[in-house]
Amino acid sequence: MSVKVYIDGQEGTTGLKILERFEGRSDIEILKISEEKRKDPAERARLINSSDYTFLCLPDDAAREAVSFVENGHVRIIDASTAHRTNPDWAYGFPELSPEHREKIRTSNRVAVPGCYASGFASIVYPLVKHGIIPADFPVFAYATSGYSGAGKKAIAVYEGDEKPYEYGSPRQYALSQQHKHLPEMQAVAGLTYKPMFNPMVCDYFSGMVVSVPIQTRMLGESVTAAAVHEMYARHYEGAAMIEVMPLMPADEQKSFFLASNTLSGQNKMQIFVFGNDEQILLCSRLDNLGKGASGAAVQCLNIMMGIDETTGLV
């Protein structure tokens, strides 16, 4: 028996990638909106209420509007916008963070898919706070490199166009005012008292990202070593189907190693790395911003809500 799924915003990058992950699935019936009615509120409302599950791949205001259309109490919403990520009434769509997160996703009718940067950040910092490696008021700094696919259709067109500006060939730092839209989510989900500093960079490749968090252990005590932190991550993510804690590299191996940001492009998993030494630890999370950072995470949440193998259509 199939379930009816509607994607509100099916022509955007996230919506198209969700559709890709449904290819070959006999348990999904896609409800599609005609091109001429794509922005018609009445038609969108009709399809939302005709569905069992609706994905919102929309700007924030449009996502909030779409939720207001729901009349059928059985419609389950999976929102891939920023609009509901810090709303405590919504399940946060990162099941690997804790059994409580997974159970809330399974039972909720409202699930907010994490942002791509926030996914990498939370995968690193949530366990650090949860297991007492850092206190909630620790001054956290993060930086990240990302492919341009997360910048939206207009930016993609510039990057792939014949008249790409010279500067676009270089990594470009942005959100320099420390007002990035993911910051409230990153703080709330990780359980931090204060907003982290965040330095994202968009780069000249299509998709994939690495989010990095450096830790100075002199602020934390002698028990915080690279090996101890690595062991903590291994325990925390033990059995996780979509997250792999990579082996701890010897110092000599680290010297010659380059961490590429596009290695997981097109995939739905995430990798956690612990680099550095006992004085300075560098924690890195590698993922595809369109996979585990967006569409793959959305489909994983749907699978959990349906009560089936969470990796269906993803591996």
Catalytic annotation, pick one of 116, 203, 284, 301: 116
Chain position carrying tokens 């993922």: 287
Neighbours of 230 (CB within 10 A): 21
Strand 3-8 with 209-216, pairing: unpaired
Cα–Cα distance for residue pair 249/275, rounded to 1 Å? 7
Nearest to residue 59, comparing CAs of 82, 77, 76, 33? 82
Catalytic annotation on 116?
yes
Torsion angles phi and psi, residue 193, rounded to 5: -70, -35
Instruction: Give the SS3 label for residue 259.
Output: coil
Torsion angles phi and psi, residue 174, rounded to 5: -145, -175
Return the structure tokens found at 175. Answer: 């959100």
Active-site residues, by number, are: 116
